[in-house]
Structure 1
Amino acid sequence: MELKDRLKYARKLASMTQSEVAERAGIKQASVSEIERGLSRTSGYLVRIANACGVDPLWLSEGIGSPEIDGYDHRQPDSDSKMSSADQVRSMLARIGKGLPDETRNKILAAVEDVPSEAKGVIHGDFSNLKARSDEILIPQYDIRAAMGHGQVPADYNEAIRNLVVREEVLREKGVTYTSLSALAVITGWGQSMEGTINDKDPVIVDRGVSEFIGDGIYVITWHGLLYIKRLQVLDAEHLWLISDNSKHKDQEARLEDVTIHAKVLLIWNARKA
């Protein structure tokens, strides 16, 4: 049984939807969806998901043993839920993983040592020379490669702007609303499919707090394992239109369940030659 199948089975045992698992695990529904569709494997999240579903983390992560928990309820108390994923794994291994070979134990620990939290996903750096005043916002660069997965970003993708300081008043004047300041990030557009709206190498401000369709607009999405910036519109209850603003590119119909939304595009900083 593959990981995606084990996750589906775990949800079935718990009688929980993806969104319910995500809420209890403290992660985004998109993360659960990507793992269940075989597009991602973030071991630190698997520990949280296993705890949320009440199954053995070793079984969910590695297929070792069975989903049933022997003498321990992994729908853990609040004291455990405040631990980092790596600490949860260490605690779990100390309690129920004594019979594991050292190689397997080390593999599991190594997989979660540097797991990013859902609040991360931006490139961190020295901002000492880039300071925002009281009426300004520092918007960091969104690390698309880390967030979207290996092989999903164009090979020639280069960031035009790494970090951006903007007056909050400018965003208000343009009618830009967002889920939170910490969710704002800047990326660089690529390709020609959105040409006229987002040109190749245009800086784009996105809201990473949006992980589901909330109405017509432009989103950063993954569809069938590939990364896109597309305008989304509802086709029917089960399908979306993936719209390219460049008329030379065809619009595409996509099943809602096949589209993972990573962020919503809020503002394009078009760089045009004078």
Structure 2
Amino acid sequence: MNLSERIKLARKKAGLTQSGLAESVGIAQTAISQLESGKTLRSSYLIQIAQACGVNSTWLASGEGEMHSPEDFSASLSGVLQEMLRGEHEDDAALNNALRERLEEVRSASRLASAGTLLTEEIPYLVELEDPHDPSKTVVEVSVKLHLDLNDEILSKQEVLPQNVVAVAISGNSMIPVLQDGGTVVAHLLETQVVDGRMYVIDHGGQIRVKALYRLPGGGVRMKSYNAYEHPDETYTVREMEDASIRVMGRVFWGASFY
């Protein structure tokens, strides 16, 4: 892994944009861009960049040693605690869950970096938000805060671009044993044409659903849950899909709980 790849990896694992990193270091965003593109092969600000990203400066400069030294890791965990405690959470359970997820991200970043992982892309999550026009309803939007770090190799093998991809957190037991509650799937937004038996992300009147779909004559669809005992098949004509605001958003091509 060369310098440009290490800087890009460190920045993304720290959750920083190029402009955000540049601001933290006190240099121009173009300087970070040139370093990550390989147009600039050295910099007198590597120590400051390492500190801003919370990584080992020796690793960043030369690739030697671990990405996160014990001191870096401790500082990172401390920063995570402060970050989470400043957040807004409805109850202690929500705080604990969010904290556990963030801590695991930090641990994973340390483990994967030391093993020489490939670079990753930040894939935004789809989320359900309160409808600004009707508080009793929800709408499906792309999150500006939540993202999944997905290896570039996965996207390359699927021949999809990161800007056309979204992540979805699985909630409920309708798709077990294939998809577990709490798992994650990734979908390609440009593949909305239903192929029988494939899995798709669906916006069902503001609710995010993940189902296997089958075509019906006339343009309708059949939604299949793998846990058919508790969640029987649902069928919709084109008119019923319009009335229920059902929209096929994209085909699922990767999932954390079944691949």
Scaled by the length of structure 2, the TM-score of the pair is 0.43
Scaled by the length of structure 1, the TM-score of the pair is 0.41
More helix by share: 2
